[in-house]
Structure 1
Amino acid sequence: MKAVVFHGIGDIRLDNVPEPRLERPDDAIVRLTSSAICGTDLHMVRGTLSDMQPGTILGHEGVGVVEEIGAHVRNLRKGERVVIPSTIGCGYCSYCRAGYYAQCDHANPNGPLAGTAFFGGPKGSGPFQGLQAEYARIPYAQVGPVILPDSISDNQAILLSDIFPTGYFGAKLAAVKGGDVVAVFGCGPVGQFTIASCKLLNAGRIFAIDKVPSRLEMAQRQGAEVINFNDEDPVAVLRDMTGGIGPECVIDAVGIDAEVASGGPAHEHGKGREAMLAKELQEIAPHMHPVDGNWHPGSGPSQALHWAVESVAKAGRVAIIGVYPPADRFFPIGLAMNKNLRLTMGNCNHRAYLPELIQLVRTGAIDPSAVLTQQRELVGALDAYKAFDKRTDGWMKVGLKLAS
C-alpha cells in the first residue's frame, strides 16, 4: 500500500509499504478514506520531536471503513464507517474510565509513565504506524473508533479525529463560561476550533491573535476580534480593549512553533527577549533547521506563553493546548505566580469528546468542514506538506483523500 513515511528530519516520502495485519485480538484493520496533515506532523518533520524512528508512517487523523476485526472487538462490524481518535486508550484503566484517554496506563508500550500514545508519533509515543496510508491497524478498537452516521461527510468527520476535539478541550481546560472574555493565541486549525468552542460555551468576547491574514479573516468571520501581532503589541491591545483588566481566559493554541513579531510595536516590545528566545530555540530543538527552503521551526518557542501570562487578568486562567516537547523548560512562572493564575494544559482526550461533537455536527449546530481549505490526493501529500510548513496564506487545513 502507499503511505507517507518519515525517513529523517526534512525527509518524508510516499512509499510502498506492507499492508498492516491484526496483531492482537483487540485490533481492527481500517481502510482509510480520508486523512489530514496536522501541525503536529510538522513537529516530527522539523525535528521538534527528535526521537522519530525512520520508517514510521505519519499522520494521526483518520476516517475509514472497518475491513477486519479481532476476536475481542464486539462492537464493530466489517463495512462500518468510523472516525479514529488521534490518541489511543485502552478503555479499562482508571485514567480511561475517568475520561483521561491521553494518560492511559496501557496503550503506550513504553510503560504507564511514558506519556500519550498516538498514531504516527515518535518513539516515546509507542510508536504506532500512522494514518496517512491506505490501511491502518487500530489497537484497542473496541474503544477507539466511533461509528459515524451517514449524514456526516468525510470532510466533516476528518476534523473530528483531532482538531475539533482539541479546540473544544482547550475551551474546557480554560473553564470558559457565559460572558467570559477569552483570548486565543494562534488562529491555525486548532485555534479556529478553539474559537468555535468558546462560542459554543457562550463566551462574551473572543480575541484572536495571529499574523497570517487568511487565518485572521476566518477568525473574524466567526465573530472574533482580531489582532495581528506584526502590526500591534497584542498584550497592550488586549489590556486597552478590556479596560486595563485583560481577558479572564487565555488559550495557547500555538506551542513551540510560535513566532516573534517581525516588526511594529510587538517587535519593539519583545526586543529584550530576543536573546532568551534564541537560547530557548537552541536548547529545546538543536536539530531543527530549514532543509531545502522548507521545514521552518518557529522563531519564538515560548512567545505565545509569555504573551498569554502577561495579558491575562489577575486570578485568570491560562490553558495550553499547543505542543511543547518534554525538553521545554522555559515558562514565566514568577509572573504567573504573582498574578494568582490558574494553569491547565495537556494532550487532548479525544475519545471523551467524540460522541458529543458528533451529535453537534449531526444536528447542524456546527459544520467543521469550513476549516478544510485544501484537499489533495495521497500522491500529492509531499507538496501539500511543504506548502503547509511554509504557513502559506490560505492553507488552513489540508485533507488527504485516500479512497471513496
Structure 2
Amino acid sequence: MRALTWHGKHDVRVDTVEDPGIVNPRDCIIKVTSTAICGSDLHLYDGYIPTMKAGDILGHEFMGEVVEVGAKSTLKKGQRVVVPFTIACGSCYHCGKHQYSACDNGLPADNQDIAQELYGHPMAGLFGYSHMTGGYAGGQAEYVRVPFSDVGPIVIPDGIEDDKVLFLSDILPTGWMAAENADIEPGDTVAVWGCGPVGLFAVQSAFLMGAERVIAIDHFPRRLELARKFGAETLNFEQTDIYDALMLMTGGIGPDAVIDSVGLESHGLYVDNVVDQIKASTFLGTDRPHANRQAIIACRKGGRVSMPAVYGGFVDKWPLGAFMEKGLTLKTGQTHVQHYLPGLLQAIIDGKIDTTFLISHRMDLEDAPTGYQKFHDEQNDYTKIVLKPGLNG
C-alpha cells in the first residue's frame, strides 16, 4: 500500500509499504477514505517530538471503511467509522473513569519504559506519533490497523459525508474538551490563544457552552476572520500588545478563562520566545511556551487556564509565582476522544456544530509532502488539508 512516512526534519515521503494485518482479535483493518494533516503533525515535521524512526507512518486524524475484523471486534465489514487518535483498551482503571488518553494498556509493553522515564507514567497510545506513544502506524495511508476496535471507532450513519465527521477523530473533541476544561459559566469572557483548527473549535465550543464573549488571538488574517464568523472578537498579536488589550477589553479584570491552543512552537518576536528559540536550536531546551506564559499573566485572579496545546518536554521561565498568587486552576491533557464521540456526532447530525468551514484544501495522498510544506509555510491560506487516497486516480 501507499503511505506517508517520516524520514527526518522536513522530510516526509509517500512510500510503498507492507499492508497492515490483524495482530490481535480486537483489531480491525480499515480502508482510509479521508485523513487530515494536523497541527500536531507539524511538531513531527519540525523534528520536535523524540523517538521517531525513519519510515514511521504518520497521521492520527482519519476515517474509512472496515474491510477486515478480528474475532473479538464489534465492527462489521462495510461499516464507515471515524477512529479516535487515542488508542485505549476501555477496561483499565483510567478507561473506567472515561480518562481514555490515560489508558494503562494503550501502549505495547516494549514502549512503556520511554514514557515512564520521561513523564513518570505511560499514557495511551497514539496513531502515527512516535515510539514514545506506541510506535503505531498512522492513518495517512491507504489502510491502517486499528487496535481495540471494539472500543474506539464510532460508526457513521449512511448519508453523512466524510467532511462533516472526519474531525471527530481529534480536533473537534479536542476543542470541545478545551472549552469544557475552562469551566465556562454564563456571562464569562474567554480568551483563546491560537486560531488554528483546535483553537477555532474551542471558540465555537465556548460559545455553545455559554460564554458571553470570546476573544481570539492570532496573527493570520484568514484564521482571525474564521473566528469572527462565530462571533469572536479578535486580536492580532503582531499589531497589538495582547496584555494591555485584554485589560482594556475586560475593565482591568482580565479574562475569566484562557485557552492555550498554541503549544510548544509559539511564534512572535518576544524576548522570552527568542531565547526559547535559541535554546531549542542549540539543544539546550525543547518547548517554546510564550503563549502559555502570556495567557497565565493575562488571566484574571481566580480564573481558569485550559491547555489543549501539545507540549513535549521541559519549560523554564514559567510564571509559577503568578499562577500561585492569582489562584489559577489549570486543566490539560490529551483528549479523551472516545468519551465525547457520541454527543458530538449527534450535535453534527442535529446541525448544532459545523466542521466543514475549516477545510481549505483537498489533496491526493500522493501529494501529502506538498501538503505538509504548504500547511507549515502558508498557514494563512491553508487552514486545514484533507488527504484522499486515490483522489486523482
What secondary structure is seen at the aligned counterpart in 1 of 2:125? coil
Matched, 1:395 2:378: no
1:386 corresponds to: 373
- Measure, in 1, the Cα distance between the counterparts of 2:274 and 2:63: 44
Q: In structure 1, give the amino acid aligned to 2:355.
A: P
1:48 touches 1:285 (CA, 8 Å); kept in 2?
no
> What amino acid does structure 1 have at the position aligned with 2:389?
L
Deviation, structure 1 residue 179: 1.3
Q: Matches of 1:325 and 1:278 in 2, distance apart? A: 15
1:317-328 maps to which residues of 2 (within 5 A)? 317-328=304-315
Call closer, same or farther: CA 1:165–1:377 in 2, change over 3 Å. Answer: same
User: Who is 2:333 aligned against?
Assistant: 346
Q: Partner of 2:195 in structure 1?
A: 187
Contact 1:115 1:124 in 2 (8 A): no
Aligned to 1:226: 234
1:363 aligns to 2:322 (yes or no): no
Q: Could you tell me which residue of structure 2 aligns to residue 87 of structure 1?
A: 86
| Residue in structure 1 matched with residue 217 of structure 2 by the alignment | 209
Map of 1:36 onto structure 2: 36
State the Cα distance separating 1:312 from its structure 2 match: 0.5
- Distance between the aligned counterparts of 1:255 and 1:82, measured in 2? 29
* Structure 1 stretches of at least 4 aligned residues deviating more than 4 Å after TM superposition: 282-286
Could you tell me which amino acid in structure 1 is paired with residue 107 of structure 2?
N
User: How much is the aligned-residue C-alpha RMSD, in angstroms?
Assistant: 1.7
Q: Secondary structure at the match of 1:66?
A: strand
Letter in structure 2 aligned against 1:36: A
Alignment of 1:150 with 2:158, yes or no, is yes
Q: 2:356 and 2:159 mapped to 1: Cα distance? A: 13
Paired with 1:324 and 1:106, the residues of 2 have a C-alpha distance of 22
CA apart distance, 1:260: 1.6
Quick one: distance in 1 between partners of 2:214 and 2:350?
25
Residue 334 of structure 1: aligned partner: 321
Describe how 1:145-184 pairs up with structure 2 within 5 A.
145-184=153-192
Distance 1:160 1:337 in 2: 35
**Contact 2:273–2:289 (8 Å) recurs in 1:** no
Alignment-derived partner of residue 136 in structure 1: 144
Taking the aligned partners of 1:175 and 1:84, their CA distance within structure 2 comes to: 27
Q: Which amino acid aligns with 2:39?
A: G
**Equivalent residue number for residue 104 of structure 1:** 103
Matching of residue 305 in structure 1 with residue 313 in structure 2: no
Please, what TM-score do these two structures have when normalized by structure 1?
Answer: 0.91
Structure 2 CA distance for aligned equivalents of residues 259 and 239 of structure 1:
22
Query: Shift of the alpha carbon at 1:36?
Result: 0.3
Q: Distance in 2 between matches of 1:220 and 1:125?
A: 36
Residues 284 and 316 (structure 1), Cα distance of their counterparts in 2 relative to 1, 3 Å cut: farther
- 1:50 Cα shift? 2.3
Cα distance between partner residues in 2 of 1:275 and 1:354: 39
Residue 117 of structure 1, CA deviation: 1.1
What runs of 5+ residues in structure 2 fail to find an aligned partner?
A: none
Superposed CA deviations along residues 317-339 of structure 1, whole A, max 9, x for unmatched, are 00111111033455211111111
* Cross-structure match for 2:8: 8
Cα distance in 2 for residues equivalent to 1:309 and 1:93: 34
Q: Which runs of 5+ in 1 are unaligned?
A: 262-269, 289-299
Distance 1:318 1:179 in 2: 17
Residue 208 of structure 2 aligns with an amino acid whose one-letter code is L
Amino acid at match of 1:37: I
Q: Deviations along 1:123-175, whole A, 9 cap, x unmatched?
A: 10001000000000000000011001124210111111110000001001111
Alpha carbons of 1:274 and 1:188: their partners in 2 closer, same or farther (altered >3 Å)?
closer
For residue 391 of structure 1, report the CA deviation from its aligned partner: 3.6
Shift of residue 192 of structure 1? Answer: 0.5
Alpha-carbon separation, structure 1, partners of 2:71 and 2:264: 42
8 Å CA contact 2:104, 2:124 repeated in 1: no
Deviation at 1:49, TM superposition (A): 0.2
Number of residues of Structure 1 aligned to a counterpart in Structure 2: 382
Q: What CA distance in whole angstroms lies between the structure 2 residues aligned with 1:77 and 1:183? A: 43
Cα deviations by residue, 1:168-193 (Å, 9 ceiling, x for unpaired): 01001111122110000000011000
Q: Give the Cα–Cα distance (whole angstroms) in 2 for the partners of residues 371 and 150 of structure 1.
A: 23
Whole-Å separation in 2 of the counterparts to 1:314 and 1:7: 46
Structure 2: distance between partners of 1:381 and 1:282: 26
